Chains A and B, each alone.
Chain A
Amino acid sequence: MNIAVCVKQIPDPNVPGNLDADHTLDRSAKPQIDDSDMYGVEMALQLADKAGGGEVILVSMAPNGEVSGLRTGLAMGSARAVLVSDEALAGSDALSTAKVLAKAVERAGDVDLVLTATESTDGYTGTMPAQIAELLGWPSLTFAKHVEVGDGKVTIQRQTEAGYDVVVASLPAVVSVTAGVVEPRYPSFKGIMAAKNKPVDQVTVADLGLSPDEVGWSGARQQIVSVAAAPERQAGEKIEDDGEAYTRIVSFLEDLKII
């Protein structure tokens, strides 16, 4: 079974973010694989293993041929990657990105399943999984906290407001996985060394049969009109616990009439 995993290479989420003058995210620092995508990579590796064969293929879109995040996914055990990198992609919105990734999935070859995170840590638009599925004409099984594949079908436990639903569809399909669905493995030294030589198919927008007008700034059809600092919340009283700090909490609760 061949599984494509959408992987985003993002700036370190622990470093405060910045917007460039054109209102796009400052991506000048060395990017890393989005933590959320590690769950998809791990899930794909486990499902391929259980199926007894097939490849896990990473699919990504990044400026300047950036591969540092992809190498982590390859070091975990993925076989190869398709990377779309093109100046025309700057300013792409969610729909344009989904168009690019859906084409990249097709380029990846004969894929039975696409795995994604529910949303990226930096942009967190959260529309990509179902948009890619719609573009491919496939079912989308979103917000999976458990995934099983067998007999040409995928069955998931889908998070809901009240609990979870068991949802099934035939393959091929797109599944988005929630954080914590599996425990991502650490790349081994052997894996890290092997990743250096794994193939990365770097393509442009034109290679995918898309027009530059469909992506980037021209394809976005939305415009940022203002950026402002949010009103800051001030820090209040701070005390060291000397064994009696709980009494201050009690009086705080009394003042709020919580107790």
Chain B
Amino acid sequence: MSKVWVFAEADGDKPSTATLELLTKARELGGTLEAVHIGANADALAAGLGEHGATTVYAVDPGDALPGVVGAAALEALIGEHHPELVLFAQSYDGRDAISRLSVKLDRPVLTNGVALRVDGDKVIVGAAIFGGNTLVDTEFEGEAPFLAAIRPKSFAAEPSGGSAAAVVAVPAPDAGRAGEAKVLERHVEEREGPKLEEAKVVVSGGRGLGSAEAYDPLVEQLAKLLGGASGASRAIVDAGWVPYSKQVGQTGKVVKPKLYIALGISGATQHMVGMKGSENIIAVNKDAEAPIFGIADLGVVGDVHKVVPKLIEALQAHS
């Protein structure tokens, strides 16, 4: 690859972890590595992007428009000028908006949900895991570059290369037409204690087996807190409204790869397993001895979470 671009996203004033993962992987592909950022804080991101291999960041301030929509319009123009062969996006909210609209503008196919990426000659091949991660499928692009791929967070490790800060090239926000009419009126940041779900070393998740929304705090939250971890959830209890969507682990939620994953009252639907089976160690507690989660758990306890977990919490409190 002579030139690879990464759609860079921010987490506050730093590049998001998913962005750094993409840059690290893109370095392996050789050639020039550059970033495109749609936001007002490119100067703050330049050091982190450069440290992970990007030499330049093209920066577009979208104002109060949705970043993905402005991002696609900006990318269309920038790609026409600079001709990258491959553009990588994180499988994130704004990344998906941008890659989707860009695919229409350029009339190019997209490969999404990638967990692996390689280049073989002039072929770009994206690996994805289907059927709950049981089957790996490699797909290659046909036709002309640029190739557009979205990769799931946690697919690669983020490692710095020691480069200096990326040069920031400010680009005026293009007119996205009617599509650009979607405006952000307010931003709400949810209060969170402890580590982020996708970055925590320990994740404790709850499922339908908790029995009620009221059981989530005393069992899941408290155990997560005691272990310095983050709390998660299965889709079933998110759908039921017991906990917010931001806690959902799974195919349509977050992918986690902690040192330890504890599944409480989770049967192990395919959707959920996709999001957590990459954990180094898994403990599962469930009443149903036949629950699929036991098929991948390093330690499976067949029992009632309402009996096992309070005793565990008590023992941990005594331990500390």
Contact = CB atoms under 8 A, between A and B. Distances in A.
Interface of A: 13-14, 16-17, 19, 23, 36, 93-95, 98, 118-119, 121, 124-131, 133-135, 137-143, 145, 155, 157-170, 173, 178-180, 220-230, 232-241, 243, 245-250, 252-253, 256, 258-259
B99 A134 contact: no
Contacts of A250: 312, 315-316, 319
A222 B186 contact: no
A249 to B, nearest CB: 5
22 contacts: A17-B130, A98-B104, A121-B271, A126-B91, A134-B101, A134-B104, A134-B179, A140-B101, A140-B182, A142-B93, A145-B245, A165-B188, A173-B182, A179-B245, A222-B109, A229-B134, A233-B295, A245-B308, A253-B227, A258-B227, A259-B227, A259-B320
Nearest to B254: A161
A162 B189 contact: yes
Nearest to B198: A161
Interface of B: 11, 16, 66, 68-69, 72, 91-93, 96-97, 99-101, 103-105, 107-113, 125, 129-131, 133-143, 150, 177-190, 201-202, 227, 235, 238-241, 245-246, 251-252, 259-260, 269-271, 277, 281, 283, 285, 289, 294-304, 307-309, 311-312, 315-316, 319-320
A35 to B, nearest CB: 9
A165 B110 contact: no
A-B pairs with lowest CB-CB distance, top 3: A241-B303, A130-B100, A236-B298
A125 B136 CA distance: 15
Nearest to B280: A256
Contacts of A93: 109-110
B125 A225 contact: yes
Helix, strand, loop or mixed for chain A's interface?
Answer: mixed
B308 to A, nearest CB: 5
A179 B188 contact: no
Given A95-B103, A127-B100, A237 B135 contact: no
Contact of B136 (A137, A223, A230, A256): A230
Given A93-B109, A142-B93, A246-B312, A237 B300 contact: yes
A163 B189 contact: yes
B259 A256 contact: yes
A124 B113 contact: yes
Contacts of B309: 246
A168 B112 contact: no
A226 B189 CA distance: 42
A98, A119, A230, most chain B CB atoms within 10 A: A230
